[in-house]
Structure formats: structure tokens, C-alpha cells
Amino acid sequence: IQISDNWPGYSLDLFTYPQHYYGDLEYVLIPHGIIVDRTERLAKDIMQDIGDNDIVVLCVLKGGYKFCADLVEHIKNLSRNSERFISMKVDFVRVKSYHNDQSMQDMQIMGGDDLSKLTGKVDFLFWALLCFLLTIFFIFCKDIVGTGRTMKVLLNNIEKYKPKMIKVASLLVKRTSRPDGYRPDYYGFEIPDLFVVGYALDYNEHFRDLNHICVINDHGKAKYRV
Ligand code: IMP
Ligand code: MG
């Protein structure tokens, strides 16, 4: 689904959202219901591509947690109601790169099992090796591809193990001028080059508790700037 640059969005007055964000948002870009419906279709597409393989979902925290949870739920429902039973594992990696609304140079990958202790790449290495050894369908589950830098770092780290079936699912892709033209294998919406929040996407850790994907306004940016 392509959301064009001149799409005005929906007025905030048409929906409900937390009172503590009144005055901080410009408009609703994608209402929560549409996100969930589109995710259901992505789950169906993924199910079709899986074949008889098992699946490992690697959720990229923190922004990917809502999308990942909904995607996993839809895959489970589809699997339960079909003849084909799919076994699924879920794990988490965390990547941190943004400061305010800017992508930063240094990027940290952290394993998911114990985020405070595993600040190295132990857990990630484990999955990378498993990727090589087994014919499992791996899916990186991500909130948004902006510059594409985060995804590149993740894939570079795992690609040296020559994984057979590694796919990337991202809820959003931003229309930035990406020189490499990187595209995830599955994505929900292509959006204009705007900073968006909600549905687990944050601005300095705020707005993750907002259901809809919204565009933040200047007041909101100033209020939560660090
Ligand atoms: P990239 O490296 O520029 O592709 O950005 C990847 C990460 O930056 C995403 O996983 C998000 O966590 C964060 N990010 C990028 N754009 C946005 C945005 O518009 N809103 C909130 N977070 C964003
Ligand atoms: Mg963030």
C-alpha cells in the first residue's frame, strides 16, 4: 500500500488516543484497524512462501514488538485453521540508533534473552549459526525501514553464515532517497519521508502507547526532545 506525499491523513478528532498526547500530533497517518488488517494479509503471504519449513521469527526491538506480536498471532490463526501445521519460535534482538528524529552513526545490536547482560552479539551469533545449519524460514520482523542502515547492519552480521531462507518483514518503508534501494521482502505500507510515531514506534521512547501511526508535530518534538 502506497501512501502518497500529498495524503492529508485523518483528523485526530475522528479517533480516540491518549490524552497525554493532545497537542503533540499533526494527524493520523494509518489508523490501528488498517494496520491490523494489512498485517493479516502479510501473514497470509508469508504462510504461502513458507512451504513445509518451520519458522523462526526474530523480532527487532523495541519498535517491532507490536507488528511482530500481531503478525505472529495471524500466522498462528492461519496455521491452526489449515491442514498444514507450522512450528514457530520467536526471539528478540535489539538495535538502537536514533536520537530525537535523527539516525545516529554508531549502532548497537543486543541479544534478546537478557538485554542487560548480553550487550555483545552472543545471541545474535547463535541465530546466525542456526540459520546456516537448518533449513528454517527466518523472518526479521521490523517496524520501519528508514535509511535502511539498521537492516543492512543486521543482514551483514547474519549473511556471512550463508542463511538459506532469511526474509525481512517490515510494517513500514519510508520513501527516503536510499542509494542502495533496499526493499524488505514483505512490507505493509510505503510512507512519505516523515517522522512517524505510534504502534510501538517512538520518539525518544514516547508514543509507543499510541495505537494509530501518527505524524508528530513541532510541539511534540520540542516537548520530548533530549
Ligand atoms: P533506519 O536505519 O534509518 O532504516 O531506521 C531504522 C530504525 O530507526 C527503525 O527500526 C526505527 O526504530 C527507527 N526509525 C526510523 N524512522 C522512524 C520514524 O519515522 N519513527 C520512529 N522511528 C523511526
Ligand atoms: Mg526508536
Q: Beta strand pairing status for 102-111 and 88-99?
A: antiparallel
Alpha carbon of 85 to ligand 1 centroid (Å):
34
Packing angle of the helix pair 32-50, 65-80 (nearest 10 deg): 50
Alpha carbon of 7 to ligand 2 centroid (Å):
24
In the chain, where the domains are located: 33-191
- 76 and 85 Cβ atoms separated by less than 8 Å: no
Q: Which amino acid is at 74?
A: H
Q: To test ligand 1's pocket by mutation, which of 93, 95, 143 has the most ligand atoms within 8 angstroms of CB?
A: 143
Report the C-alpha gap between 216 and 23 in whole angstroms: 9
Report pLDDT for 53: 81
Report pLDDT for 114: 42
Q: How would CATH label the architecture of 33-191?
A: 3-Layer(aba) Sandwich (3.40)
Residues whose beta carbon lies within 6 Å of some atom of ligand 1: 63, 97-98, 103, 142-150, 195-197, 201
List the end-to-end C-alpha distance of the chain, in Å, as a whole number.
33
Query: Could you give the C-alpha distances from 26 to 3, 8, 17, 51, in angstroms and in order?
Result: 16, 10, 13, 43
pTM exceeds 0.85 for this model: yes
Report pLDDT for 117: 45
Q: Which amino acid is at 61?
A: L
DSSP type of residue 220: H
Report the C-alpha gap between 138 and 38 in whole angstroms: 21
Report the C-alpha gap between 178 and 220 in whole angstroms: 27
Residues in the chain: 226
- The one-digit pLDDT tens for each residue of the chain (226 residues) are 999 999 999 999 999 999 999 999 999 999 999 999 999 999 999 999 988 888 889 999 999 999 999 999 999 999 999 888 788 889 888 887 766 777 666 676 776 444 434 344 455 666 666 655 556 678 899 999 988 888 888 888 777 766 668 899 999 999 986 656 778 999 999 999 999 999 999 999 999 999 999 999 999 999 999 9
Report pLDDT for 184: 93
Report pLDDT for 180: 65
Report pLDDT for 129: 65
Report the C-alpha gap between 61 and 59 in whole angstroms: 6
DSSP type of residue 93: E
Report pLDDT for 52: 80
Query: Could you give the C-alpha distances from 123 to 88, 145, 169, 211, in angstroms and in order?
Result: 18, 23, 20, 30
Ligand number with the minimum distance to the CA of 180: 1
Alpha carbon of 178 to ligand 2 centroid (Å):
19
